[in-house]
Amino acid sequence: MLIKNREALNLHLNNYRPELPEKLLGQILLERHLITPDQLKAALNLQRKQPVKLRLGEMLLNIDAISQEQLSRVISEQLKVPVVDLAEFDLDESLLSLLPEEIARQYQVIPLMIHAERMIVACPDPTQHELLHLLSFITGKPVEAVLADSKAIEHAINMHYGTVAAEVLPEDDNHEPVLSLQQMKQLAEDKPTVRFVDNLLEDAISRRASDIHIRPGEKEATIQFRVDGVLLDIRKIRRAALPAIVSRIKIVGGMNIAERRLPQDGRYMVRMRDRLRQKYHLVCRDQRYP
């Protein structure tokens, strides 16, 4: 059963504690006939060839030997660790400031809440004890891990850390109708702006969005993704932050940031890596009207 909120996770943690596994993951999967001996051998061989050693579960997923749902269920039962549905979970966003985004992305982990003075985090492999010690050192709190799908964690990082970035975006405090070229460049090169736009693009790619729309309102602007032909509201930002975001989008798209009257076409390439460190090149077409 997936846990979808803090109340349910608190209840689970009050009644169950994680345990060291009595059997190895591969052995359990074989006993339950979820994989074959040949598939296990292939995954182990592939694991040994990787420059950075990946977990056995990831290798089995990469060769399509097992589904993510089956893997999560077995790991959860093996360790008596709950599985969290990050798409529904109401995580405590105040904890995001304790864990830098770079660490969250590097180790595929996101903080959820505090329970019994311990920080509860979601990660694809709760058995990484060295990682838990590292997170404890960084956050200054004892850390306990629960299980979540790696893609769901990536999506949650894009969503929630993007929201944090939006809160510190530079705003246009100048009431003049037109910003100077120097002002626009300064706004576009501000670190929170760069991070916000990067997160926005990664989030859109992870959701397989075909378009990104930014719709200004009187006080707020709504960011929308078109997914499978349907426009979805993703988040809202203050309207005053739009000049910084639009200028950044123009820069990465190779457009003229000083042009405000005519529509412009631009292109940009985003390089992302999957779990096997394979490079993907995605070419997006950006068309903006002033």
Over the stretch 118-172, which tens digit does the pLDDT of each residue have? 999 999 888 778 889 999 999 999 999 999 988 889 888 877 876 555 555 566 5
Average pLDDT over residues 192-207: 80
**pLDDT above 70 for 211:** yes
CA–CA distance, 99 with 101 (Å, rounded to integer): 6
pLDDT for 218 beyond 90 = no
Hunting for tokens 């809440």 — which residue is that? Answer: 113
Residue 221 · residue 196 · CB < 8 Å: no
Helices (H), the chain: 6-15, 25-31, 37-49, 56-62, 68-79, 101-107, 129-139, 150-167, 181-188, 191-206, 242-252
End-to-end Cα separation, the chain, in angstroms: 49
Residue 10 has pLDDT above 60, yes or no: yes
> Above 80 in pLDDT, residue 259?
no
Q: Please provide the CATH number assigned to the domain covering 168-261.
A: 3.30.450.90
**What mean pLDDT do residues 169-190 have?**
61
> Is the model's pLDDT at 281 over the cut of 70?
no
The DSSP call for residue 240 is G
The model's pLDDT over 11-45, given as tens digits with 9 standing for 90+, comes to: 988 887 656 667 888 999 999 999 999 999 999 99
For residue 277, pLDDT over 50 is answered with no
pLDDT at res. 251: 82
DSSP state of 133: H
Please enumerate in sequence order all residues whose Cβ is within 8 A of that of 2, keeping only pairs 6 or more positions apart, or say none. Answer: 83, 84, 85, 88
Most confident of 51-55, 67-71, 83-87, 153-157: 83-87
- How confident is the model over 256-282, as a mean pLDDT? 59
Q: Tens digits of per-residue pLDDT, 72-125? A: 778 878 878 889 999 899 999 899 889 888 889 888 999 999 999 999 999 988
Domain ranges within the chain, ordered by starting residue: 2-149, 168-261
- Going by the DSSP 8-state scheme, the letter that residue 110 receives in this structure is E
Cα–Cα–Cα angle for 100, 104, 108, nearest 5°?
175
* Dihedral Cα 105, 106, 108, 112, nearest 10 deg: -60
The secondary structure of 174-239 as a DSSP string is --SSS--HHHHHHHHTSHHHHHHHHHHHHHHHHTT-SEEEEEE-SSEEEEEEEETTEEEEEEEEEG
Q: How large is the greatest C-alpha to C-alpha distance in the chain, in angstroms? A: 71
Cα dist from 223 to 204, 242, 251, whole Å:
11, 11, 19
In this predicted structure, the answer to whether residue 231 has a pLDDT above a threshold of 50 is yes
**What is the reported pLDDT for 111?**
96
Query: Residue 6: pLDDT above 90?
Result: yes
Structure confidence at residue 270 as a pLDDT band (50, 70, 90): low
The mean pLDDT value of the chain amounts to 80
- Predicted confidence at residue 201, as pLDDT, reads 81
- pLDDT at residue 283 in the model: 40
In this predicted structure, which of 36-50, 105-119, 188-202, 207-221 has the lowest mean pLDDT?
Answer: 188-202
Residue 272 confidence (pLDDT):
56
